[in-house]
Amino acid sequence: MDEVSGSNKKIQRALVISRTNGWSVAGFAGVCALVVILFGDVFGFLVGLAVSLSGVMELKGSRLLRGLDKKAIGWLVGSQVYLIIVLWIYALFNLVTFNSTDPWARFSPGFKDLILSINPDVYLVEALLKVTYLATYITLILVALIYQGGLCLYYLSRKKYLYAESE
């Protein structure tokens, strides 16, 4: 009996995590998608929708887990793998298309004027832009792997408890 109650606690914890993470991802990415489309950024809007979809997938997995459906783990793990793929494609696209000879190309002319009004050393600012840009997307790749990969492993580790509860 202790094993079943322990299994139930493990499943309940996974439910809390999956609901919290699913709503956070879907909500934040959905709001970001709406904001960037107001600025006419269709690519950003599509990325936001793609990321939101992973949150919706995780919420579907959470609902299945609540019902002790064995398909839940597939949805939960799949949502994380899907999010890793989306974020990596986004980051790699930005890394590959970055113009290191003209780091200002990604930004509006007003941004360049603003930054250079703060620090007029064009060479220093351009060097910082290059380093920051690369660091940002390399960090995104690593964080997605660690966080989403960790959630994949966590959800996979709940499989035995789900099977114990559903029998």
pLDDT, the chain, mean: 92
Outline where DSSP puts E strands in the chain.
none
| Cβ atoms < 10 Å from Cβ of 44 | 16
pLDDT average, residue stretch 17-35: 97
User: Residue 4 has what pLDDT?
Assistant: 54
Burial of 81 (0-12, 13-18, 19+ CB in 10 A): middle
User: Residue 7 has what pLDDT?
Assistant: 82
Residue 1 has pLDDT above 70, yes or no: no
User: Residue 25 has what pLDDT?
Assistant: 97
pLDDT average, residue stretch 97-118: 86
pLDDT average, residue stretch 17-31: 97
User: Residue 105 has what pLDDT?
Assistant: 84
Burial of 56 (0-12, 13-18, 19+ CB in 10 A): middle
- Cβ pair 124, 63 in contact under 8 A: no
**Segment 118-136, tens digit of pLDDT:** 888 888 888 998 999 999 9
pLDDT average, residue stretch 18-32: 97
pLDDT average, residue stretch 76-96: 97
- Cβ pair 154, 14 in contact under 8 A: yes
User: Residue 72 has what pLDDT?
Assistant: 97
pLDDT-derived band at 82, boundaries 50, 70, 90: very high
pTM score, whole prediction: 0.87
| DSSP result, 80-106 | HHHHHHHHHHHHHHHHHH--TT-GGGG
Q: Which residue has the higher pLDDT, 87 or 4?
A: 87
Choice among 8-17, 62-71, 107-116, 127-136 with the minimum mean pLDDT: 107-116
- Cβ pair 37, 45 in contact under 8 A: yes
User: Residue 77 has what pLDDT?
Assistant: 98
